[in-house]
Structure 1
């Protein structure tokens, strides 16, 4: 954004170049992911595909009719390719997207940001029905306004946004018990690492709370987020043993450190636990190593079969 401000004569052409490149790159990435085994055919698209879409000095430019029409043309192949090849897509707006904030100005900005992601999904052909093709735009249930403020904000979203939104349990504040309070209104994503940080519990697929999360998807295959604490925090920890949160906290470890995602899925015992969800859920690995970490978990599943 600094570059765009400092090079005003070139800024609009640069925006055209970026949007065209990112749309074409998304199609190529989906085509690549489609060659992977079925359980790994998932892509989380980046929020930065369109630079400054909600930024005050660029909003009017992005909303120009010719720009919107062009975006619809270049994003349509992304959705068409994903549906044709059976690749599940998602967005995950940043944690500054707080739909339940107690501050109305933050809610207004968050709605604008969420609808930006909805615009991209709409151009791709999603949002016409409840999580069509498994597409989701996932955010945390965060903000001191809680469930009441979230439901109020939810009613202000576009129909497509309400069809695509999913809510994830948080590791520090709003855990599963909180997200289940909105299960009748939105699909829920179960983040099992967040739940472990929040409670110390290794939840199981048979847990009634997990099954209520499944039911929130209304027949669509649910999504599960999986991660583990960082290797450089739990140095020397036996990879064959699941970490014990209470023991780690008693030893002086801090939740703020333990919550961070690892580079790779180094703990085979945790991987084995996460894989127990595989028959009913799409397991989406959240790790700095991204596709390499996902492959690591998938290969362990093959070895266990």
Structure 2
């Protein structure tokens, strides 16, 4: 089991997603931004290793306008060594990483242009994991998309689009249940159709479900992951912010709820991403709980950067 947090480390004085306005594009600005972003990503990963936080969602903006036609800078070759070094560090320290492309990535849109741009974005983000030399356990996480007034047609479009994806994307793609439109059961239908693993979001399941108890839901999602090709089940964990609208994530982890959730995970190997506002602060507390329960080992000395 690994515990982690997404995209931003609030304890460090850098960001791995620095960018600029499209109107200001130049190859020189891309080169500088990517160099800075990769250096910060390395610092974040080293921090995570030092604190036993071995699951991290990399921000999508490592390369500004990475999937946009305006970007003609050969960043894949220019930074090949840097990407490979980061990948080597990830593998040497038993880290797991992923990407979660933005909401504009919609594979079931009726608009062919949106679908193509979505595919371009998945290719871009997957190519970074390929450059790192990581296997298929490093994932690209997306939602099923919109309903567009017809759930069955929307699911059929998702399946049809999935079948056109490059194999390099297919081996990384996972679909997450959401809190308003597509439940765990809908995502399981996509798995049955094309074999896409289901990333399980506990909070979304609490908001939208078909009556499955949490432990059953976790078992159903875990069964969609191939133990070697996909790795352990990935989970997004959060809970309801008290006194806020339904579906609003809590600002900081509520330890009693987290402990109760862990009871549902007995017998399931999983990596948990905390989607909680205070990022690594809650991840530290979750790590302490997991070490205390014997679910993860205490922090070990890191392997030096290769």
Select the structure with the greater relative contact order (CA < 8 A; seq sep ≥ 6).
2
The answer for the alignment partner of 1:249 in structure 2 is none
Measure the CA separation in 2 of the matches of 1:84 and 1:264. 31
Q: 1:57, CA displacement in angstroms?
A: 2.5
Q: Structure 1, unaligned stretches of length 5 or more?
A: 234-256
Q: Structure 2, unaligned stretches of length 5 or more?
A: 1-18, 148-152, 295-306
Q: 1:50, CA displacement in angstroms?
A: 0.6
Which of 59, 81, 103 is residue 73 of structure 1 equivalent to? 81
Query: CA-to-partner distance for each residue in 1:216-270, whole Å, 9 max, x for gaps?
Result: 111121111111122462xxxxxxxxxxxxxxxxxxxxxxx3212221013x332
Say whether residues 1:152 and 2:160 are aligned partners: yes
Whichever structure has more helix as a proportion of its residues is 1
Measure the CA separation in 2 of the matches of 1:200 and 1:181. 13
The answer for the alignment partner of 1:117 in structure 2 is 125
Which of 241, 244, 258 is residue 271 of structure 1 equivalent to? 258
The answer for the alignment partner of 2:56 in structure 1 is 43
Which of 261, 282, 285 is residue 293 of structure 1 equivalent to? 282
The answer for the alignment partner of 1:197 in structure 2 is 207
Say whether residues 1:54 and 2:72 are aligned partners: no
Measure the CA separation in 1 of the matches of 2:190 and 2:102. 21
Task: Give the TM-score taking structure 2 as reference length.
Answer: 0.79
Structure-to-structure mapping, 1:119-134, within 5 angstroms: 119-127=127-135, 131=136, 134=137
Task: Give the TM-score taking structure 1 as reference length.
Answer: 0.79
Say whether residues 1:217 and 2:225 are aligned partners: yes
Measure the CA separation in 1 of the matches of 2:44 and 2:292. 27
Q: 1:48, CA displacement in angstroms?
A: 0.8
Query: CA-to-partner distance for each residue in 1:171-191, whole Å, 9 max, x for gaps?
Result: 101100100012241111110
Q: Which has the larger radius of gyration?
A: 1
Q: 1:4, CA displacement in angstroms?
A: 5.3
SS in 2 for 1:137: strand
The answer for the alignment partner of 1:242 in structure 2 is none
Which of 142, 145, 156 is residue 142 of structure 1 equivalent to? 145
SS in 2 for 1:44: strand
Which of 42, 47, 52 is residue 32 of structure 1 equivalent to? 47
How has the CA–CA distance of structure 1 residues 68 and 50 changed in structure 2, closer, same or farther, with 3 Å as cutoff? same
Say whether residues 1:23 and 2:10 are aligned partners: no
Conserved 8 A contact 2:20-2:64: no
After alignment, is 146-155 or 89-98 more displaced? 146-155
Conserved 8 A contact 1:100-1:107: yes
SS in 1 for 2:145: coil
Q: 1:301, CA displacement in angstroms?
A: 4.1
Measure the CA separation in 2 of the matches of 1:21 and 1:203. 45
